[in-house]
Structure 1
Amino acid sequence: MKNKRAIVMLGLAVLFGLAAVAVAWRYLLPPPPSSGKRVVVATVAVAQGKPLTADMLKLSDKIFEHPPEGSYFDTEKLLSRVVKDALAAGDPVTEAKLAARDAGLSSLIGKGNRAITVRVNDVIGVAGFALPGNYVDVIVSTQKDAPNGERSTELNVSKIVLERILVLAVAQDVGRDESKPRVVNAVTLEVTPAQAEHLDLARSVGTLSLALRNQLDNSDVHSDGATKRTLLQEPALIKPAVVVMPKAPARPTTRPVVLVKRNCVGVLNGVNVSQECF
């Protein structure tokens, strides 16, 4: 009985020993080579239009068994490429998120749209806060056409002519840093062909100003514009109505009565007296 128990204990000891050796062997052996790869990711948030630099890129810590389509595996191949779609820190850098090589600003223009540049100063350009990626309204200050050709301050008007226009670039910079305003003398806007015509006409007939919008504000503004009278809140002048009196009907002309001088004599007939003229 005692021998049987000893044999059982010995067998269990051998089994546990083999299991311990197997576990140790598994951890001591080098891991098998993985079929996955490390892809290039952004180390920081990269805004639309920014060229990539070495400090913006690194190989991912994670190994991708199935890397995203268009991924890169070498940071050197991405240097100076322009970002078309903004990248967040840790996002894989793929070909779909990059502008075509040597395409410049034209690669950022939406299909069917145009880029047009307008000259501004530090006030008109919202003190430098109209940065690439922001949206602005375009205001023109001009004079209305008078019906009889006369010019008067009463005809001055300021009106929003274009709404929610995307700023593509300021001066020659297509990058964006919302914390650092830049005072520039030119702003490039993305517009439709029809809006380009309106903008070109507006800058030729008056003075342009930009109004910075909230990025999430999609509402349309229907404004009649501001004039000197609405600015000062003066009541509109009411012109006196001109009452046109109907013409009196023409009176028929009457010929003057011409009295003809006649000879008359009295006639006595019995007791009756009469007068006969001839």
Structure 2
Amino acid sequence: MKNRRAFAMMGLAIVLGLAAVVLASRWLLRQTPGGARIVVAAADVNLGQRLAPDMGRLADWPSASLPQGALRDPGQLNGRVLKTSVQRGEPLTEAKLAPAGTLGGLSALITEGRRAITVRVNDVVGVAGFALPGNFVDILVNTQADGEGQGKDNAISKIVLERILVLAVAQEVSRDETKPRVVNAVTLEVTPEQAERLDLARSVGQLSLALRNQVDPRSAATTGATRHVLLARAEPAPVAPVTALQPAPARVQPAATAPAAAPRTHCIAVINGVHNSRECL
């Protein structure tokens, strides 16, 4: 009898436990927001590469955090070109794809209204290989200033273009590498006006690249560096001429004068024959 009662209590506890598990799971499912299936990269893909449907796969994604412009069908990737590199499992959106019909390669990376122009560099001009795709650089030209005469005294170095985007180094457009690469050519993204200035600059002088901070948009308004400015020295303050000291002239003391004789007030007339005289005391 006691065993039967114990078994009954154990059975009741098991039934109540299962019921609690079922109710809790249903409650959790109601609390969890619904998901959606979007297209993510099936492998690492570099920018400028033409896509195929097998380069993407569907993956579950929370509806509350769906990326804007997310794709729902891998077939939408057919023939599209990436504008930026993506990693495996990263969502593929319209913002990361070039417009439909765009050919693959560097042309897909050029912003609308801009141009790509290539300049020859070396290990010094190319900032020791640190000018990588995605970086911004300033361009300097070293040439002869306008005016008469040629030579070092008439040389000038001036920044002609600022904050220019590096699209590619040599034939590589990948932006994933951070190690410096010494190459012989760098491709830059410029406006048509900047392309004209850059073409003229490389024909009149030697070009140099100056790597700049990625998030610094400030312009450096300079007048250029010349030989006279470079070697300018502060002029010494003028010194007053030293003159020989002359001895001060001796002061002439006026000669002492004899005191004037006191006037005589008592006089006596003296008569001597025919002569008269007067004597005063």
Please report the TM-score for the alignment, with normalisation by the length of structure 2.
0.62
SS of the equivalent of 1:38 reads strand
Helix, strand or coil: the match of 1:154?
A: helix
- Structure 2 counterpart of 1:118, which letter? V
Counterpart for residue 170 of structure 1:
169
Distance 1:63 1:196, change over 3 A: same
Alignment of 1:1-278 (within 5 A): 22-23=19-20, 36-41=35-40, 49=48, 59-60=58-59, 62=61, 64=63, 68=67, 69-74=69-74, 82-85=81-84, 91-100=90-99, 101-146=102-147, 149-234=148-233
Deviations 1:3-29, CA, capped at 9 Å, x for gaps: xxxxxxxxxxxx999866655667999
One-letter amino acid matched to 2:95: A
Moved more, 16-25 or 163-172: 16-25
Provide the rounded CA distance (Å) in 1 between the counterparts of 2:133 and 2:65.
35
Give the distance between the partners of 1:150 and 1:98, measured in 2 at CA.
Answer: 54
Instruction: List gaps (5 residues or longer) in structure 1.
Output: 1-14, 237-278
- How many residues align? The count is 218
Residue type at the aligned position of 1:71: L
CA contact under 8 A between 2:38 and 2:70: conserved in structure 1? no
Shift in Å, 1:60: 3.7
Counterparts of 2:80 and 2:113, CA distance in 1: 24
Q: 1:47 to 1:134 in 2, by over 3 A?
A: farther
| Percent identity for Structure 1 against Structure 2 | 54
Query: Cα gap change, 1:57/1:233 in structure 2, threshold over 3 Å: closer, same or farther?
Result: farther
TM-aligned CA distance change 1:48 to 1:150, over 3 Å: same
Q: CA deviation at 1:230?
A: 2.0
Q: Distance in 2 between matches of 1:215 and 1:66?
A: 29
- The CA RMSD over aligned residues, in Å, is 4.2
CA distance in 2, matches of 1:90, 1:232: 58
Letter of the structure 2 residue corresponding to residue 104 of structure 1 = G
The separation in 1 between residues aligned to 2:46 and 2:233, in whole angstroms, is: 48
Contact 1:50 1:176 in 2 (8 A): no
Q: Measure, in 2, the Cα distance between the counterparts of 1:19 and 1:179.
A: 60
Indicate if the aligned counterparts of 1:140 and 1:161 stay in contact, CA closer than 8 A: yes
For residue 82 of structure 1, report the CA deviation from its aligned partner.
4.3
Residues in 2 aligned to 1:183 and 1:37: alpha-carbon distance in whole angstroms: 46
Letter in structure 1 aligned against 2:109: L
Report the Cα distance in structure 1 between the residues aligned to 2:111 and 2:76, rounded to whole angstroms. 26
Deviates more, 1:135-144 or 1:97-106: 97-106
Partner Cα distance (1:180, 1:44) in 2: 23
Counterpart CA distance in 1 for 2:18 and 2:65 is 35
The alpha-carbon deviation at position 171 of structure 1 amounts to: 1.4
Cα 1:137–1:47, aligned 2, differ >3 Å: closer, same or farther? farther
The structure 1 segments of at least 4 consecutive aligned residues displaced by more than 4 Å after TM superposition are 15-29, 42-54, 56-59, 63-68, 76-82, 85-91
Checking the alignment, whether the CA contact within 8 Å between 2:70 and 2:91 is kept in structure 1 is no
CA contact (8 A) 2:36 2:60 kept: no
**For the Cα contact (< 8 Å) 2:39–2:70, is it kept in 1?**
no
Which amino acid letter does the alignment assign opposite residue 171 of structure 1? A
Q: Distance in 2 between matches of 1:206 and 1:97?
A: 39
- Tell me if the contact between 1:126 and 1:211 (Cα under 8 Å) persists in the aligned partners: yes
Contact 2:34 2:62 in 1 (8 A): no
Identify the residue that residue 6 of structure 2 maps to in structure 1. Answer: none
Question: Helix, strand or coil: the match of 1:84?
Answer: coil
Deviations 1:184-234 (A, max 9, x none): 111111111111111010000001000000001111111111112222234
Structure of larger gyration radius: 2
Note the alpha carbon deviations across 1:152-203, whole angstroms, 9 max, x for none: 3211111101011111111111111352111111111111111111101000
